[in-house]
Structure 1
Amino acid sequence: MKSTLTCAMLAGSVLFTALVSANENTDDYINTLTELGFPAPKDNQLVHIPPTLQDLEQSDVHPELKRVIRRGYDLFTDTQQLRGENVFNNMNCSSCHLGDGRMPFSAPVWPAAVTLPGYRGKNDHVNNLEERIAGCFTYSMNGKPPEYGSDDMLALAAYHQWLARGVPMYPEKPIYGRGFPAPERPEELSYERGEQLYQEQCAVCHGDNGGGLQVGEKTVFPAPWGDDSNNWGAGLVRLFTAAGFIKNNMPLGQPLSLSDQEAWDVAYFISSQERPQDPRYTGDVAETLEKYGPTFHKHSLYGQKRDSDGKVLGDHSNTGDKDFLKPDTVWPRTFE
């Protein structure tokens, strides 16, 4: 098992290193991606190669700003240092946004820096960059965001903006490699096939019971479900988002190695497992589903009966390792 885990980590490292080494030349960067099977950018798409920390050190940015950006990188890649204060599961920001938040087709984070403030349907109002980061803490980290304007929040925002260096605000062209683009959904999804594939392809890193792998306080591989995973309000509980992440990024270092059907089946199995309650929970799963089903949860299995045993998913008041449901930093805006 140890050798298999090492191989998985090395494969992921090799992929990220290959993309970083291609940074000097856009053609080399695109060739690296297309050789892996990713689509080439279309003529009307914006291609951006995010700068690295090495680029930061060689830049003429003020030394104090460099220090803050490095702090943002450190928080992004080791968010577990905020465990028990802002993070209440075993996730890091980089657990979902691979390659230090730079990887195309793995929801690279720099687009947020140039497309926000912007409207977000999830909370039905215009969000700025800090509020978008706060959403990740609230849902993906099952936690409580750092205070707006705090040192940690500023550092994280600065790191996002550094990665977007050179990109105009509100770019008119669609962004190449943005998000977790999902393959076309098959006609039927199978819990049983997904479970078998998970055991064959995923369990060696993420555990038979979905608990992930931690060494000391360091997350090596995150938990895909359970109390140490994201809650029912996180973006990855949506089937198309999970399928897109899996197809483009998993197994680690082997992107696009699963068929479309396999990616969707694994996503269906993982999304059928329990996790902490959605922070927007009203106290009743059916009522919560009625409120958010037309928008967010129409793409998840929240409030639906699980294929394997008929259990209604999300029908509980479990908040995981935290002692609150919704952090007090989550609030509506009216602009009135």
Structure 2
Amino acid sequence: MKASRWMLSVALLPLAACHQSTQQAAPAVSDTPVAVASSPKSTGRFEPPPESSIPNDDFGKQIALGRQIFIDTGHYAKAYVGNQLNCENCHLDAGRLAHSAPLWGAYPMYPAYRSKNHHVNTFAERLQGCFQYSMNGKAPPLGDDVLVALEAYAYWMSKGEPIGVASPGHGYLKLPQPAQAPDYARGEAVFKRDCAMCHGDNGQGQQVVDRTVFPPLWGPQSYNWGAGMERLDNAAGFIKANMPLGRGNTLTDQDAWDVAYFMNAHERPQDPRFKSSVEETRKAYHDTPDSLYGVKVNGKVLGEGIAGQ
């Protein structure tokens, strides 16, 4: 998804990660500003504190470590990551950007019951799930330094926000159902036009000196079939609000649905909850029109996973 020279230079900074816009509250990319958390006076949207306000004490060290883990997960949480993604790939601008599931939107909503695992989850348990599914790795044990630092970062970012209230921009953008059913061929055309420059013609992203600059969208180094981004509604909402990077809200809703379909119509690592068959696993965990797991696309049933996974 087309990036300016400015974005490519940012991506090469030591702590930069794929899809990182900037470390300021209101960055700009080329001539078009990124859709970031606006002033509460104008939108009513919560505005997280700037990085410069992280306290200079022992608690601040944990906050800063949480931020480092968030934007360079493969380095700072290597033992728990199984692919080339960083937390920031789905939660942009170091977890600050509205409509990209920002940390300040998630933290105040826990503990909460989740139908995904049928019990009340703490925020730490929610983070465990991110490692297991989106990072295709393993869950850090509760109390692990990685989870403590990430929770400290999320807590600091959310200070002053109402508890249990879904603030505007707290998750992914919710798009209306498309006028036409999402289509692979149309999605492929959108991908070639708007996405391949950054993510590659084969969707495997780009790395510079072993650092992910733009993430793989399918295949062995992407999120697995248990991740939230495998749902078409989540992927379409994220794409509509944020992609192409720096030019969010420029694709039509139909384009966003179509390219989300194209992206998720490719094979990826198996759902860790796999049962005896793809059919049984779909019935248990993916029985929704928003999941392509177990669906035949281009003559192949998706969900077999990647060889060797």
Q: 1:74 and 1:265, CA in 2 relative to 1: closer, same or farther beyond 3 A?
A: same
Match for residue 219 of structure 2 among 208, 226, 232: 226
Q: Is the CA contact 1:213–1:219 (under 8 Å) kept in the aligned structure 2?
A: yes
Q: Displacement of 1:278 after TM fit?
A: 0.5
- Output the amino acid matched with 1:301: L
Q: 2:21 & 2:93 partners in 1: Cα distance?
A: 11
Q: 2:38 & 2:290 partners in 1: Cα distance?
A: 39
Gaps of 5+ in 2: 11-18, 29-35
2:309 is the counterpart of 1:315 = no
- Output the amino acid matched with 1:230: Y
Would you say how many aligned residue pairs link Structure 1 and Structure 2?
Answer: 293
Match for residue 127 of structure 1 among 118, 121, 125: 121
Q: Is the CA contact 1:102–1:109 (under 8 Å) kept in the aligned structure 2?
A: yes
Identity of aligned residues (%): 43
Partner-residue secondary structure (3-state), 1:111: helix
Q: Whose radius of gyration is greater, 1 or 2?
A: 1
Q: 1:90 and 1:23, CA in 2 relative to 1: closer, same or farther beyond 3 A?
A: closer
Deviations 1:281-329 (A, max 9, x none): 01310111111234xx5421000001xx210001246464xxxxxxxxx
Match for residue 40 of structure 2 among 11, 26, 32: 26
Partner-residue secondary structure (3-state), 1:219: strand
TM-score, normalising length from structure 1? 0.80
Q: Is the CA contact 1:83–1:89 (under 8 Å) kept in the aligned structure 2?
A: no
Match for residue 130 of structure 2 among 118, 131, 136: 136
- 2:53 matched residue in structure 1: 55
Deviations 1:10-30 (A, max 9, x none): 797777746269989533xx4
Q: Is the CA contact 2:25–2:50 (under 8 Å) kept in the aligned structure 1?
A: no
Q: 1:110 & 1:53 partners in 2: Cα distance?
A: 13
Q: 1:65 and 1:262, CA in 2 relative to 1: closer, same or farther beyond 3 A?
A: same
Q: Is the CA contact 1:140–1:230 (under 8 Å) kept in the aligned structure 2?
A: yes
2:104 is the counterpart of 1:110 = yes
Q: Is the CA contact 1:13–1:253 (under 8 Å) kept in the aligned structure 2?
A: no
Q: 1:118 and 1:259, CA in 2 relative to 1: closer, same or farther beyond 3 A?
A: same
2:159 is the counterpart of 1:165 = yes
- Output the amino acid matched with 1:121: S
Deviations 1:249-277 (A, max 9, x none): 00000010100111111001001011000
Deviations 1:41-89 (A, max 9, x none): 5xxxxx31011220214xxxx6000001000000001001156521111
Cα RMSD after superposing both structures: 2.5
Q: Is the CA contact 1:51–1:163 (under 8 Å) kept in the aligned structure 2?
A: yes
TM-score, normalising length from structure 2? 0.87
2:288 is the counterpart of 1:302 = no
Match for residue 239 of structure 1 among 232, 239, 257: 232
Q: Displacement of 1:211 after TM fit?
A: 0.6
Q: 1:79 & 1:95 partners in 2: Cα distance?
A: 10
- 1:274 matched residue in structure 2: 267
Q: 1:84 & 1:65 partners in 2: Cα distance?
A: 23
2:167 is the counterpart of 1:175 = yes
Q: 1:246 & 1:26 partners in 2: Cα distance?
A: 24
Q: Is the CA contact 1:86–1:146 (under 8 Å) kept in the aligned structure 2?
A: yes
Q: 1:201 & 1:238 partners in 2: Cα distance?
A: 21
2:176 is the counterpart of 1:184 = yes
- Output the amino acid matched with 2:175: P
Write the mapping of 1:78-89 to structure 2, written as runs, cut at 5 A: 78-82=72-76, 85-89=79-83
Q: Is the CA contact 1:233–1:279 (under 8 Å) kept in the aligned structure 2?
A: yes
Gaps of 5+ in 1: 31-39, 42-46, 321-336
- 1:100 matched residue in structure 2: 94
Deviations 1:199-221 (A, max 9, x none): 11101111111111111231111
Q: Is the CA contact 1:106–1:180 (under 8 Å) kept in the aligned structure 2?
A: yes
Q: Displacement of 1:141 after TM fit?
A: 0.2
- 1:6 matched residue in structure 2: 5
